[in-house]
Amino acid sequence: MINLIRNITLFLVCFVTANAQNFTATVDKTKLGQNERFKVYFKMEAEDINSLRNFQAPSFEGFRILSGPNQSTNMQIINGSVSASLTYTYILQTIELGKFTIGSAKVNYKGKNYSTDPLVLEVVKSSANNDVGGVSNEDLAGSVFIRAIPSKTNVYQGEQVTVEYKLYTKANISSPQISKLPTYNGFWTEELETSPNIRFNIEMYNGERFRAATIKRVALFPTKSGELTVTPFELTVPVILKKRRSGRDVFDEFFNDSFFGRTETIEFLAKSNELKVNVKSLPAQKPESFKGAVGNFDFNAQIDKQNVEINEAVTIKINISGTGNIELLDIPEIKIPPGFEKYDPKTSSTVNKKNTVSGIKNLEYIMVPRIPGKKTIPAIEFSFFNTKTGKYETKTAGPFVLNISAPEGTVVGDVSGLTKEEVTLLSSDIRFIKTNSYDFRKKDELGKLPGWFWYLSISPLVLLLLFLGYQKRRNKISGNIQLLKFKKAEKAAKNRLKKAKKAMEQNSLGLFYSENAAALFGYLEDKLGIQKSEFTLEKALEQLRSLELDEELLTKLQSTSEKSEFARFAPSAQSDEDARNLYDSTVHLIVDLDSKIDSARIK
How far apart CA 21 and CA 113 sit, in angstroms, is 11
Name the helix (H) or strand (E) containing 538. helix 537-546
> In the chain, where does the domain assigned CATH 2.60.40.10 lie?
2-126
Pick the closest to residue 591 from 523, 514, 515 (CA basis): 523
State yes or no: pLDDT of 421 exceeds 70.
no
* CA separation, residue 223 to residues 227, 303, 351 (Å): 12, 34, 20
State yes or no: pLDDT of 127 exceeds 60.
no
Q: Do residues 547 and 523 lie in contact, with contact meaning Cβ atoms separated by under 8 Å?
A: no
State yes or no: pLDDT of 149 exceeds 70.
yes
Identity of residue 65: I
State yes or no: pLDDT of 602 exceeds 70.
no
More confident residue, 541 or 133: 541
Pick the closest to residue 160 from 208, 219, 107 (CA basis): 219
| Cβ-Cβ contacts under 8 Å for 334 (sequence gap 6 or more) | 316, 342, 365, 377, 380
Give the model's pLDDT for residue 17.
Answer: 41
Q: Do residues 162 and 217 lie in contact, with contact meaning Cβ atoms separated by under 8 Å?
A: yes
State yes or no: pLDDT of 551 exceeds 50.
yes
**What number is the average pLDDT over the span 484-499?**
70
Q: Which range scores top for mean pLDDT: 119-123, 468-472, 552-556?
A: 119-123
Give the model's pLDDT for residue 76.
Answer: 66
77-86, 313-322, 354-363: least confidently modelled range: 77-86
What are the residues facing 107 on neighbouring strands? 114
Give the model's pLDDT for residue 501.
Answer: 83
Instruction: Give the pLDDT band of residue 190 (cuts 50, 70, 90).
Output: confident
Instruction: Please determine, looking at this structure, whether the domain spanning 2-126 carries the CATH number 2.60.40.10.
Output: yes
**What number is the average pLDDT over the span 581-601?**
79
Q: Which range scores top for mean pLDDT: 300-304, 543-547, 560-564?
A: 300-304
**What number is the average pLDDT over the span 543-553?**
79
**What number is the average pLDDT over the span 386-401?**
88
Give the model's pLDDT for residue 16.
Answer: 40
- pTM, two decimals, is 0.48
Walk across the sheet containing 37-46 and list its strands.
Answer: 22-27, 37-46, 81-94, 63-78
Give the model's pLDDT for residue 449.
Answer: 61
Give the model's pLDDT for residue 570.
Answer: 58
Pick the closest to residue 324 from 290, 285, 352 (CA basis): 352
Q: Do residues 415 and 339 lie in contact, with contact meaning Cβ atoms separated by under 8 Å?
A: no
**What number is the average pLDDT over the span 530-538?**
71
Residue 459, SS3? helix
State yes or no: pLDDT of 419 exceeds 80.
no
Identity of residue 109: Y
More confident residue, 598 or 339: 339
> In the chain, where does the domain assigned CATH 2.60.40.740 lie?
290-405
Give the model's pLDDT for residue 163.
Answer: 92
> In the chain, where does the domain assigned CATH 1.20.120 lie?
481-602
State yes or no: pLDDT of 476 exceeds 70.
no
How far apart CA 569 and CA 177 sit, in angstroms, is 11
**What number is the average pLDDT over the span 111-120?**
88
Give the model's pLDDT for residue 15.
Answer: 40
61-65, 124-128, 204-208, 346-350: least confidently modelled range: 124-128
How far apart CA 513 and CA 503 sit, in angstroms, is 9
State yes or no: pLDDT of 422 exceeds 60.
no
More confident residue, 80 or 532: 532
Q: Output the average pLDDT for the chain.
A: 76
* HEC string for 182-236: CCCCCEEEEECCCCCCCCCEEEEECCEEEEEEEEEEEEEEECCCEEEEECCCEEE
More confident residue, 192 or 278: 278
State in words which class domain 290-405 has. Answer: mainly beta
Instruction: Give the pLDDT band of residue 423 (cuts 50, 70, 90).
Output: very low
Task: Give CATH for domain 130-280.
Answer: 2.60.40
Give the model's pLDDT for residue 134.
Answer: 52
More confident residue, 432 or 37: 37
Instruction: Give the pLDDT band of residue 13 (cuts 50, 70, 90).
Output: very low
Pick the CATH number of 481-602 from 1.10.287, 1.20.120, 1.10.8, 2.60.40: 1.20.120
More confident residue, 60 or 29: 60
Please list the alpha-helical segments (H only) found in 29-160.
137-143
